[in-house]
Chain A
C-alpha cells in the first residue's frame, strides 16, 4: 500500500510537470509561427516595394510598448547617458512585450486563442517542423493536452 501511495504521488507530480511543459512548448510554437509570419510579411513587402523601409520607420525586435490615453500626463526624467529613465503617469497605462504585439497583429494565426481557420492552420503547419505539426493542429482547437511520441 505504501509503495502504491508513493507511486501515486510520483504520478501526480509528473502530471503537473507535463502540464507546465505543454504550455511552455505551446508558447514556443506560437513564438516561432509569429516570428516566421512577421519575417515572411516583411520580406514580401520589401520585394513589392523593391527596397527596405526607411530606417526610422521600423522597430526591430525585441521591444516593449507602453500605451496610455492621450489625456495622460507623463513626467519623464532621463539620465544624461540614457542608462536610466523614470516615468510618472497620472493615469493608467498598459505594458506589452513584442510577442504579445505580434499575437495582436494576427501573426500567430489565432492559435493563441484556439480560433484558427482551416486556411490559417495550413499556413501555421507549414511554418513548423514535422514533429510539431500535431501540436499545431491541436492548438487550433485549444491548449495542448497530448504528447505525441512522433520521431523526427
Chain B
C-alpha cells in the first residue's frame, strides 16, 4: 500500500513535487477494481463533509 508524507504550511515558494506524485498515485488507482477487491461491498455510506 502506497503512502506519501509531506510537510505543508511552509511559506510561499517552498514548492514540493510530491503533490504531483500524489496526484499520479491517486489517478492511477482503478476505483471500480478497488471496490470489487473490497469483497464487492458497496462503500459504507460515509457522512458527507
Chain A interfacial positions (CB closer than 8 Å to B):
27-28, 31, 35, 61-62, 64, 73-76, 87-88, 90-100
* 8 sampled A-B residue pairs with Cβ under 8 A: A62-B12, A64-B19, A76-B49, A90-B43, A92-B26, A94-B27, A96-B19, A97-B19
Number of interface residues of B (CB under 8 A): 22
Cβ-defined partner of B15 (8 Å) among A31, A76, A92: A31
Interface of B is mostly: loop
Task: Say how far B46's CB is from chain A's closest CB, in angstroms.
Answer: 4
The reply to whether B12 and A27 contact each other, CB–CB distance below 8 Å, is no
The reply to whether A31 and B13 contact each other, CB–CB distance below 8 Å, is yes
The reply to whether A62 and B11 contact each other, CB–CB distance below 8 Å, is yes
The reply to whether A91 and B31 contact each other, CB–CB distance below 8 Å, is yes
Q: How many A-B residue pairs have CB under 8 A?
A: 55
* B29 at the binding interface (Cβ < 8 Å): yes
The reply to whether B12 and A61 contact each other, CB–CB distance below 8 Å, is yes
Residues of B within 8 A of A99 (CB): 12-13, 15
CA distance A75 to B47 in the complex (A): 6
Across the two chains, which residue of chain A brings its CB closest to B18? A95
CA distance A74 to B45 in the complex (A): 10
Cβ-defined partner of A27 (8 Å) among B10, B15, B31: B15
Task: Say how far B7's CB is from chain A's closest CB, in angstroms.
Answer: 11
CA distance A92 to B25 in the complex (A): 10
